[in-house]
Amino acid sequence: MPAMIKRWLRRRLQLDASARELRLGDTNRQRGALVKKGRLVALRAHVPANRDAFQRWYADREIASLLRHDLEPLTMPQSRGYFDTFILPLSARGTCFAIHERKTKRLIGTTALTDRAPGKDGVSALFRIVIGEKDVWGNGYGTEATRLVVETAFDALALDEVRLEVFQHNNRALRAYMRVGFEVTGEHVEWVSRKKTELRVIEMRLSRHRYHALNSGQPDGVRKSLANGREKRQVRRAEREAALVRRRTDRADRMPTKPDDSLGTLQTPEPGVD
């Protein structure tokens, strides 16, 4: 009898271990490998299970108005192809990340560093992010995710500069980038032909030197106070620059011009993980 009990216990333990492995496998399929974590969010590798959420975000008109240069949501075939041919390969190369809420482990967004290129100030890349779950907007998740990606860019990917573009009407994103340390470097206007409207795009950058200077040797309270002061000054400067561009554009619009049939329609960029 004791021998039978021992065999039964061994068999039971083996079954329990197999069940735990299966559950772990399911969890890993639902969440990719951890890349970097903060207090609020964690960056993980993308997995195919993230596709449905990604497609839902990019089908949302409000989100499209904040990140798509044509201001239009993606269709289901477009977003599926984009996720499978762009997001997953970039994530496998370590430059695209799923954003998970740490408290619930829920997938809430996606972010990436793309268009890596050399320049006069070193190697830079274009930062893109979207917090797709709108119920977590305004909680600082985007700010922390931006900071985590910037740290990865400078410390792990050896970038010298991170640049980005943000629509002028996306005030929440603009302020988040300024909190991290991004500076406004310029602005341009795009014509969205299908909407018959102008899209004002603010250009920003953050260098490795500036980021480390802002985040080294200062107590948290002092650093937060300095960041708030910088943010206010940068917002005022961005508003002045935007007003100047608007005045110049208005003057140009009032000037008589000759029709030019050789001008074609502006091409909208490929969709990004903005």
Q: How do residues 202-216 score in pLDDT, each as one tens digit?
A: 999 999 999 999 987
Note the pLDDT of residue 30: 79
Q: What is the mean pLDDT of residues 228-247?
A: 57
Lowest pLDDT segment from 11-15, 129-133, 191-195: 11-15
Per-residue pLDDT band for 17 (boundaries 50, 70, 90) equals very low
The answer, yes or no, to whether residue 3 has pLDDT greater than 90, is no
Note the pLDDT of residue 233: 61
The answer, yes or no, to whether residue 77 has pLDDT greater than 80, is yes
Note the pLDDT of residue 4: 59
The answer, yes or no, to whether residue 8 has pLDDT greater than 60, is no
Lowest pLDDT segment from 176-185, 242-251, 265-274: 265-274
The answer, yes or no, to whether residue 258 has pLDDT greater than 50, is no
Residue 185 lies in a domain: yes
Residue 18 lies in a domain: no
Query: How far is residue 169's CA from residue 173's CA, in Å, rounded to a whole number?
Result: 9
90 CB neighbour count, 10 Å cutoff: 17
Domain of residue 47, CATH code:
3.40.630.30
Per-residue pLDDT band for 239 (boundaries 50, 70, 90) equals low
Per-residue pLDDT band for 270 (boundaries 50, 70, 90) equals very low
What is the chain's alpha carbon radius of gyration, rounded to the nearest angstrom?
Answer: 23
Report DSSP letters for the chain, one per residue.
-HHHHHHHHHHHHHHHHHHHHHHHHHHHHHS--EEEE-SSEEEE---GGGHHHHHHHHT-HHHHHHH-TT--PPPHHHHHHHIIIIIHHHHHTTSEEEEEETTT--EEEEEEEEEEEEETTEEEEEEEEEE--GGGTTSSHHHHHHHHHHHHHHHTS--SEEEEEEETT-HHHHHHHHHHT-EEEEEEEEEETTTTEEEEEEEEEEEHHHHHHHTSS--HHHHHHHHHHHHHHHHHHHHHHHHHHHHHHHHHHHS-----TT--PPPPPPP---
Which single residue is written with the structure tokens 């268009």? Answer: 115
Query: How far is residue 168's CA from residue 240's CA, in Å, rounded to a whole number?
Result: 12
CB-CB contact of 202 with 154 (8 Å):
no
Query: How far is residue 202's CA from residue 188's CA, in Å, rounded to a whole number?
Result: 7
Start-to-end CA span in the chain (Å): 66
Q: Which among 165, 187, 176 has a CA at the least distance from the CA of 115?
A: 165
The answer, yes or no, to whether residue 225 has pLDDT greater than 70, is no
Give the total number of structural domains in the chain: 1
Residue 237 lies in a domain: yes
Q: What is the mean pLDDT of residues 66-75?
A: 95
Note the pLDDT of residue 224: 54
Residue 266 lies in a domain: no
Residue 57 lies in a domain: yes
Residue 80 lies in a domain: yes
Note the pLDDT of residue 51: 98
| Domain limits for position 152 | 30-254
The answer, yes or no, to whether residue 191 has pLDDT greater than 60, is yes
Lowest pLDDT segment from 89-98, 152-161, 172-181, 242-251: 242-251
Note the pLDDT of residue 24: 40
pTM greater than 0.75? no
Residue 271 lies in a domain: no
Residue 263 lies in a domain: no
